Structure 1
Amino acid sequence: MATSTSLEHLLPPSWRQLITDWLKEDVPAFDYGGFVVGEDPQEAVLYGKSEGVLAGRPFFDEVFRQVDCQVEWLMEEGADVRPVCEVAFVRGPARKILLGERTALNILARCSGVASRAKRLTLLKEKQGYKGIIAGTRKTTPGFRLVEKYAMLVGGVDTHRMDLSSMIMLKDNHIWSQGSITKAVKKARSVGGFAMNIEVECRSEDEADEAIKAGADIIMLDNFTPDEFKATAKRLHERYNNVIGGAYPKRHFLIEASGGITEENIAQYFSPDVDVISLGAMTQSVPHVDFSLKICRKA
């Protein structure tokens, strides 16, 4: 897993504008509460109040940088949070600590929640000896995708595609528009070229056969039961990858499991024939890690 420092270096130049926009959303006009507490320099303690993985330090830092406060961390990115513990100190004028408080906590809580689920899945994968890839999906929160994808990396899983421009995924509606998987793949390849992988969502083994013959790079078997999925994946690999000669040319592709997969049932899909397991549950209905920020003394 990459270090927290190197992960921060992945963030695009535009990411700080997200923080500016979120602060603007939270304080569109007067800061009435800030008027009450005033400008006295204070120190606040960030407490971790539930178990999880700490993730989101760059975003938390930037919130307080933009409101003229300083953060001193007591825990590294990716560290285990064991309640109740001190995670960081925030120092600055009282009203400015409270100005950034809620935005910073919201980001940290959700980012840490996604990273915590990712880390649990990573540990489960290691315990069970699964050698494939566990990945998120594009089912992210609008406006918050960068934070959630970053959290997946902190937790040790694959981000999958970042957006519609990152990989060509052909699902049922794309295939319907062209009349067949073969035609959809051909049209996609005409604009994606050699540099873009093409993934095709398949609802049956016959559709997977067509997608492989059409030149798809990734075959997503969608909404199969675990037993059906593993059996189908094994047959496809044997038919195209492991058999020299025979009726089919040798082809190279990945097989991905998706649809209805959760933290509770993912282990049922672990198999040497399963290359990728993706789950929308990586970011959907994720419990947040509970943090609080308490002003404790004058700085």
Structure 2
Amino acid sequence: MSTSPNLAHLLPPSWKTDIDRWYAEDTPSFDWGGLVVGEEEQEAFLWAKSGGILAGVPFFNEIFKRVDCTVEWLYPEGADLPYDSKTKVAIVRGPARQLLLGERVGLNMLARCSGIATISKRFSTLARSSGWQGKIAGTRKTTPGFRLVEKYGMMVGGVDPHRHDLSSMVMLKDNHIWASGSITGAIRTCRRAAGFSLLITIECQSYEEAAEALDAGANIVMLDNMVGEELQANAKKLKEVYGKGPGGKGREFLIESSGGVVEDGLLARIGPDIDILSTSAIHQSVQHVDFSLKIQPRKKS
């Protein structure tokens, strides 16, 4: 029986240094409140106060491991937490001072990662409900210093993380074309340097630009800010002229739709010739999932 892969295994060796940076930001000097609570072992309950998809478990675990605390999860990562009740999600154990050191760092990360996973799941479910088999993908418009967490949340929510950085794939947008002089020249220059192993994506504003890009060897044409009949007609014509069907040029390529892809307009972008819908709506201005961490009161003797 197949099981879902553990997404934590994707994280690079350097990911834990992010947590050092988060702690350095949150406690750069003295921990004044820590003086009050001391080192007695305590239990704290992690509560989800709003529903959504739980995401960010490996980061949360490491945040509390750094301060000598342990986390016992009551729900697995990817669980759909109920919207109609307050839900105990985990129990965190450790010295009171250490629990409070990790509290805000852990909650901030978990709230945002889970929020991204939640809206990613909504986008994915909506697209699949129409029968479309293409990919919803996030963009590189992420929070500086927090990209790894945000891309991780997208994957927990079931969407494609797209490229992670400028080195992941060649993407030539309008500024690259304008600065270099032509689509054909830009593609040829990149292909000489990037070799055979990197895909080349070209942002196109018209059918003519997309055709030039494919003639020059692009792997993906991004039809930017095209909507409605213009988008679907151009995508269909590109597949007919350049694809592997009867009368086509036998090229294997993908068509990506981008620019202003939001939840309410998602289904209008979907079509049989669209392979990828890329959007920043799953990670910019996202509603976070509301979590709190509460130390349990001491029992009176």
Q: Do the two structures share a fold, i.e. TM-score over 0.5? A: yes
Structure 1, residues 261-282: CA drift from partner, whole Å, max 9, x if none?
1111111111111000000112
Partner of 1:42: 42
TM-score, normalization by structure 2: 0.95
Whether contact under 8 Å (2:127, 2:266) holds in the other structure is no
Partner of 1:144: 146
Q: How does 1:212-231 map to 2 (within 5 A)?
A: 212-231=214-233
From the superposition, tell whether residues 2 and 203 of structure 1 become closer, same or farther in structure 2 (CA, over 3 Å): farther
Pick 1 or 2: higher relative contact order, CA cutoff 8 A, min separation 6.
Answer: 1
Percent identical across equivalent pairs? 57
Whether contact under 8 Å (1:112, 1:151) holds in the other structure is yes
Residue in structure 1 matching 2:211, options 209, 212, 219: 209
Partner of 1:293: 293
2:62 is the alignment partner of 1:62: yes
Q: How does 1:125-204 map to 2 (within 5 A)?
A: 125-204=127-206
1:112 corresponds to which letter in structure 2? S
Query: How many Å separate the matches in 2 of 1:151 and 1:227?
Result: 33
Query: How many Å separate the matches in 2 of 1:123 and 1:225?
Result: 21
Query: 2:33 aligns to what SS in structure 1?
Result: helix
2:36 is the alignment partner of 1:19: no
Whether contact under 8 Å (2:243, 2:252) holds in the other structure is yes
2:22 corresponds to which letter in structure 1? W
After TM superposition, give the deviation of residue 298 of structure 1 in Å: 4.8
Query: 1:201 aligns to what SS in structure 2?
Result: strand
Q: How does 1:85-124 map to 2 (within 5 A)?
A: 85-124=87-126
2:70 is the alignment partner of 1:81: no
Q: Runs in 1 of length 4+ with deviation above 6 angstroms?
A: none
Structure 1, residues 138-172: CA drift from partner, whole Å, max 9, x if none?
11111000001111110011000010000000001
Query: How many Å separate the matches in 2 of 1:243 and 1:210?
Result: 20
From the superposition, tell whether residues 127 and 243 of structure 1 become closer, same or farther in structure 2 (CA, over 3 Å): closer
Query: How many Å separate the matches in 1 of 2:106 and 2:245?
Result: 55
Query: How many Å separate the matches in 2 of 1:142 and 1:163?
Result: 12
After TM superposition, give the deviation of residue 123 of structure 1 in Å: 1.0
Whether contact under 8 Å (1:41, 1:298) holds in the other structure is no
After TM superposition, give the deviation of residue 2 of structure 1 in Å: 7.6
Whether contact under 8 Å (1:44, 1:297) holds in the other structure is no
Query: 2:202 aligns to what SS in structure 1?
Result: strand
Query: How many Å separate the matches in 2 of 1:259 and 1:117?
Result: 18
After TM superposition, give the deviation of residue 297 of structure 1 in Å: 3.9
Residue in structure 2 matching 1:236, options 235, 238, 261: 238
TM-score, normalization by structure 1: 0.96
Query: 2:257 aligns to what SS in structure 1?
Result: strand
Query: How many Å separate the matches in 2 of 1:221 and 1:235?
Result: 13
1:197 corresponds to which letter in structure 2? L
Whether contact under 8 Å (1:43, 1:298) holds in the other structure is no
After TM superposition, give the deviation of residue 226 of structure 1 in Å: 2.7
Query: 1:9 aligns to what SS in structure 2?
Result: helix
Query: 1:32 aligns to what SS in structure 2?
Result: coil
Query: How many Å separate the matches in 1 of 2:191 and 2:273?
Result: 26
Task: Show structure 2 runs of 5+ residues with no match.
Answer: none
After TM superposition, give the deviation of residue 183 of structure 1 in Å: 0.3
After TM superposition, give the deviation of residue 242 of structure 1 in Å: 4.2
1:42 corresponds to which letter in structure 2? Q
Query: How many Å separate the matches in 1 of 2:220 and 2:297?
Result: 56
Query: How many Å separate the matches in 2 of 1:2 and 1:188?
Result: 39
After TM superposition, give the deviation of residue 252 of structure 1 in Å: 1.3
1:256 corresponds to which letter in structure 2? E
Task: Show structure 1 runs of 5+ residues with no match.
Answer: none
Query: How many Å separate the matches in 1 of 2:29 and 2:181?
Result: 53
Number of aligned residues: 296
Query: How many Å separate the matches in 1 of 2:111 and 2:3?
Result: 21
2:251 is the alignment partner of 1:251: yes
Query: How many Å separate the matches in 2 of 1:210 and 1:259?
Result: 21
Whether contact under 8 Å (1:2, 1:154) holds in the other structure is no
Query: 1:282 aligns to what SS in structure 2?
Result: coil
